[in-house]
Amino acid sequence: MEIESWYLAGVDENRRRKLGIKVAPTNTDNFTKEDFKKIKPSNYKGRAFKQKLLESFSIETAKKNNKSFAYFLRKFG
């Protein structure tokens, strides 16, 4: 639905826990910006949370967790 879903899609469950994300869906197809704000740990300010997610980002994990990301890669990757 929104780009924030791609950030989360590329991070596996173990890394999510290490970052302090308590509850988040594995499949992020319907994940919104508002959902993203809800799961963001309070110790991250501004873009720092997105940067942390990108440090652990896996394209293979994202393809499994988000249909639009997988489609994008098939079309343009």
53, HSE (Cβ side, Cα atoms, 13 Å) = 27
User: CA 47, CA 26: separation in Å to the nearest integer?
Assistant: 22
**The pLDDT value given to residue 77:** 78
User: CA 40, CA 46: separation in Å to the nearest integer?
Assistant: 10
pLDDT for residue 16 is more than 80: yes
Number of domains in the chain: 1
**Start-to-end Cα distance in the chain:** 20
pLDDT for residue 28 is more than 90: yes
Q: Which residue has the tokens 């997988």?
A: 70
Residue range(s) defining the domain that contains residue 26: 3-76
**The pLDDT value given to residue 1:** 73
